[in-house]
Amino acid sequence: MQKRKLGRDGLEVSAIGLGCMGMSAAFGPAMERGEAIRLIRSAFDKGVTFFDTAEVYGPYTNEALVGEALKPVREQVVIATKFGFDIEGSAGFARKPTSRPEHIRKVVEGSLQRLQSDYIDLYYQHRVDPDTPIEDVAGTVKQLIAEGKVRHFGMSEAGVQSIRRAHVVQPVTALQSEYSLWYRAPEQDILPLLDELGIGFVPFAPLGKGFLTGTVTAEQQFGADDFRGRQPRFSAENRRANQVFVDAVNRLAQRLGVSAAQVALAWLLAQRPWIVPIPGTTKLKRVEENIGAAGLVLQPADLEEIAAALSGIEAQGDRYPPENKAMAGR
């Protein structure tokens, strides 16, 4: 597995990470625990060293799962987790962002315990808290770094001004935000800022929550425990309208003799040398497929083909429903 570095302080990770959220929540029933542990350990055996979780996934259960799975190889992996939601005082995707310093200090202890670790490699603020100055958030994480409980500071779905202000107090190693062929908003202001400040980028939903793989049809019905069923972008009408993205990826994949997922991930890797996508899955064959994208180098003509096919086309449907506005970040 190829390696990449996030941020100017050189946090080295596998070029493809593993998003672990879906093993516990959001895309249907949780995996059987033993099966999920075997999947995570198999990913490590195949070269993945970057694993992503958060206290809100489950909540709590995903951190515990990742901690147990990676305990035997703790010093050989990079674990990223997140703080920043009021888990006890609100529910589901309507949870309120909160990053008060006292809250961060409280929840970091729970994350460390669940992860069975003395430190967190990369600690993200999950969403910006509009009621807490970002300088206070960055300052608190800076103290945790000085105490050895955290090694690197990250932000998720943060806007330009929040990133700039935080970076002055404590350098931001990585930003995690949605980015894929069908959600390219970060290209406008975020990627140039990360170029300027030397911050790595970790795209979540790099396969469009499965849509770009071509396995999600307009006729597919989502279960009550699959959050895509509540997202406007995944309405049947919008899935039909957005099929153009899948078609463009599939045409190139067929010409190159690879999978659509590998093309979508390789496209991300081609955008910057410090981009590390974290596709999630519950199947080992998908882990292997995604890892294969790290060795796929798209040529200029391949990238031009995708650009021409999608020129002037925007994905239809918002990423989140109005009641989940906080999830879209700022």
Does position 147 have pLDDT exceeding 80, yes or no? yes
Confidence of residue 91 (pLDDT cuts 50, 70, 90): low
Report d(CA 237, CA 226) in Å as an integer. Answer: 18
Catalytic residues: 57
Confidence of residue 226 (pLDDT cuts 50, 70, 90): confident
Show the CA angle centred on residue 39, arms to residues 35 and 45, nearest 5°.
Answer: 140
Note the pTM of the prediction, 2 decimals. Answer: 0.95
Does position 141 have pLDDT exceeding 70, yes or no? yes
Give the lowest-confidence range in 198-212, 215-229, 275-289.
Answer: 215-229
Say whether 97 sits in a helix, a strand or coil.
strand
Domain harbouring 90, CATH code: 3.20.20.100
- Please give the pLDDT value at position 320: 82
List, for residues 13-52, the tens digit of each pLDDT value: 999 999 999 999 878 788 999 999 999 999 999 999 999 9
* Percent of the chain at pLDDT exceeding 70: 97
Region 305-309 average pLDDT: 96
* 111 domain residue, yes or no: yes
* 241 domain residue, yes or no: no
- Please give the pLDDT value at position 191: 98
Q: Which domain holds residue 94?
A: 3-210+273-296
Confidence of residue 321 (pLDDT cuts 50, 70, 90): confident
- Please give the pLDDT value at position 222: 87
- Please give the pLDDT value at position 285: 97
* 233 domain residue, yes or no: no
* 215 domain residue, yes or no: no
Does position 94 have pLDDT exceeding 70, yes or no? no
Angle (deg, nearest 10), helices 160-169 and 134-146 = 40
Show the CA angle centred on residue 173, arms to residues 172 and 176, nearest 5°.
Answer: 90
* 302 domain residue, yes or no: no
- Please give the pLDDT value at position 90: 62
- Please give the pLDDT value at position 156: 98
Cα distances (angstroms) measured from residue 35 to each of 24, 114, 118 = 12, 19, 26
**Nearest in space to 226 (alpha carbons), one of 17, 30, 20, 19:** 30
Say whether 190 sits in a helix, a strand or coil.
helix
Place of tokens 């925007």: 314
* 42 domain residue, yes or no: yes
Report d(CA 117, CA 120) in Å as an integer. Answer: 7
Place of tokens 């995708």: 306
- Quote the DSSP letter at residue 105: H
- Please give the pLDDT value at position 162: 98
Count the domains in the chain. 1
Confidence of residue 92 (pLDDT cuts 50, 70, 90): low
Number of other residues whose CB lies within 10 A of the CB of residue 273 = 11
Number of other residues whose CB lies within 10 A of the CB of residue 46 = 15
Does position 246 have pLDDT exceeding 70, yes or no? yes
Is 173 exposed, middle or buried (CB count within 10 Å of its CB: 0-12, 13-18, 19+)?
A: buried
Confidence of residue 313 (pLDDT cuts 50, 70, 90): very high
- Please give the pLDDT value at position 33: 96
Show the CA angle centred on residue 268, arms to residues 266 and 271, nearest 5°.
Answer: 110
* 55 domain residue, yes or no: yes
Does position 259 have pLDDT exceeding 80, yes or no? yes
Does position 325 have pLDDT exceeding 70, yes or no? no
* 45 domain residue, yes or no: yes
**DSSP code per residue over 1-42:** --EEEETTTTEEEESS-EE-GGGTSSBSSPPPHHHHHHHHHH
Region 224-252 average pLDDT: 92
- Please give the pLDDT value at position 27: 80
- Please give the pLDDT value at position 114: 98
Report d(CA 72, CA 50) in Å as an integer. Answer: 15
List 27's β-bridge partners, or say none: 226
Alpha helices (H) along the chain? 33-45, 61-70, 101-115, 134-146, 160-169, 190-197, 236-241, 243-256, 260-271, 284-292, 300-310
Region 115-124 average pLDDT: 98
Phi, psi dihedrals of residue 159, rounded to the nearest 5°: -90, 175
Does position 77 have pLDDT exceeding 90, yes or no? yes
Report d(CA 66, CA 116) in Å as an integer. Answer: 9
Say whether 183 sits in a helix, a strand or coil.
strand
Does position 322 have pLDDT exceeding 80, yes or no? no
Q: Are 51 and 78 in contact (CB under 8 A)?
A: yes
- Please give the pLDDT value at position 143: 98
Q: Are 48 and 66 in contact (CB under 8 A)?
A: no
